[in-house]
Amino acid sequence: MVEEIVITGILNGGIFALLAIGFSLVFGVARIINLAHTAFYMIAAYILYALFDLVGLPIYVAATVALIGSTLTGVVTYKTFIERVREHEVTVLLITACAAMVLQELLFIFFGGTYKGAPTFLPGFAEILGVRVPYQHLFTLVAIVVALLITSMFLYRTRLGLAIRATAQDREIANLMGMHVPRVCMITMAVSILLSSFAGVMIAPIYIMEPTMWMHPLLIVCAVVILGGLGSIKGSIVGAFVLGFAESLVVYLIPTGSFLRGAISMAVMLAVLLIRPEGLFGVAFEEERL
């Protein structure tokens, strides 16, 4: 049973991490709590489905168009609705929630409320220590690691990454040093949505698609970033794996209560916050915030 708990925990944690990184990044830089974050993940998944299943494009072409299309939708949403009120956090919160609802309703109109499955990149499964792991899951895990490495290189090895990190540390000083803060915020938003869209493209074949599919991951993402410390990428990754393992433990140790795995994740988050209100890495890694 231990190996099953470990493998399931790693798979859950990897998926949560991929979703949480972008959310955390945009909060760290632009102080935007983007409640539409997982809505863009949903949009990417639906575009992939539409282009592959309905139009008949090859899967990798469909995935590329889905990434671009969803990111563009996010950038347009940001430029049109969010940028002008970026300093008003509550307004931004409400606008992003509204944007997510609008996107959800649009999907209801165009695709209806029936459940849909996105195509698998790699069908079949491998047996690891007696646990059957679909190739799609392994592919997703590799993709997560690659996405993390690319994001890290972008942030630490490019001038734009330096500007993003500087803005995250202190927006006023970054502005005084000649950085165009609104542009940096917009680019960060685009990167965040690109990561979310990437998660959508990778995860859509694993999960089931329907127009309210953004809500549950949003809850998990919020729990992960609060647990890890808002704005901390390292915290998000650690938080994702803590919750991933918590869910895995519930399913294996309390099978009759496996519907409570979401609630138990929240309970873990609350317990950590009671002991450490700033989250796991909120203060200790303040200086290392991206």
Burial class (CB in 10 A: 0-12, 13-18, 19+), 208: exposed
Locate the DSSP E strands across 165-237: none
Q: Which two tokens stand for residue 275?
A: 């002991």
| Nearest one of 77, 51, 89 to 204, comparing CA atoms | 51
**x-or-dash string of contact with other proteins, 140-179, rule CB under 8 A:** ----------------------------------------
Burial class (CB in 10 A: 0-12, 13-18, 19+), 99: buried
Binding residue (CB under 8 A) for other proteins from 248, 268, 280, 285:
248
Select 128 or 283, whichever has its Cβ closest to other proteins. Answer: 128
Residue 198 is which amino acid? F
232 Rama class: left (phi>0) / alpha (psi -120 to 50) / beta? beta
Binding residue (CB under 8 A) for other proteins from 84, 88, 132, 183:
132
Question: Under rule CB under 8 A, which residues in 30-69 are in contact with other proteins?
Answer: 53
Select 25 or 213, whichever has its Cβ closest to other proteins. Answer: 213
Binding residue (CB under 8 A) for other proteins from 89, 145, 158, 257:
257
Select 153 or 267, whichever has its Cβ closest to other proteins. Answer: 267
Cα atoms in the Cβ-side hemisphere of radius 13 Å centred on 83: 17
- Decide if residue 8 touches other proteins (CB under 8 A): yes
Binding residue (CB under 8 A) for other proteins from 256, 274, 275, 287:
256
To which residue do tokens 């996405």 refer?
A: 147
| Nearest one of 238, 215, 232, 226 to 266, comparing CA atoms | 226
Coil, helix or strand at residue 223: helix
Strand partners, 116: 209
Candidates 56-64, 114-122, 178-186, 271-279: pick the segment binding other proteins (CB under 8 A).
114-122
Distance of closest approach, residue 267 Cβ to other proteins, in angstroms? 15
- Decide if residue 4 touches other proteins (CB under 8 A): yes
Select 141 or 187, whichever has its Cβ closest to other proteins. Answer: 141
Question: Under rule CB under 8 A, which residues in 200-219 are in contact with other proteins?
Answer: 206-208, 210, 213, 216
Alpha-carbon dihedral 36, 183, 152, 28, rounded to 10 degrees: -60
- Decide if residue 121 touches other proteins (CB under 8 A): no
Candidates 25-33, 89-97, 112-120, 227-235: pick the segment binding other proteins (CB under 8 A).
112-120
Length of the chain: 290
- Which residues of the shown chain bind other proteins in the complex (CB under 8 A)? 1, 4, 8, 11-12, 53, 108, 112-117, 119-120, 123, 125, 130-132, 134, 137, 206-208, 210, 213, 216, 247-248, 251-252, 255-259, 261-262
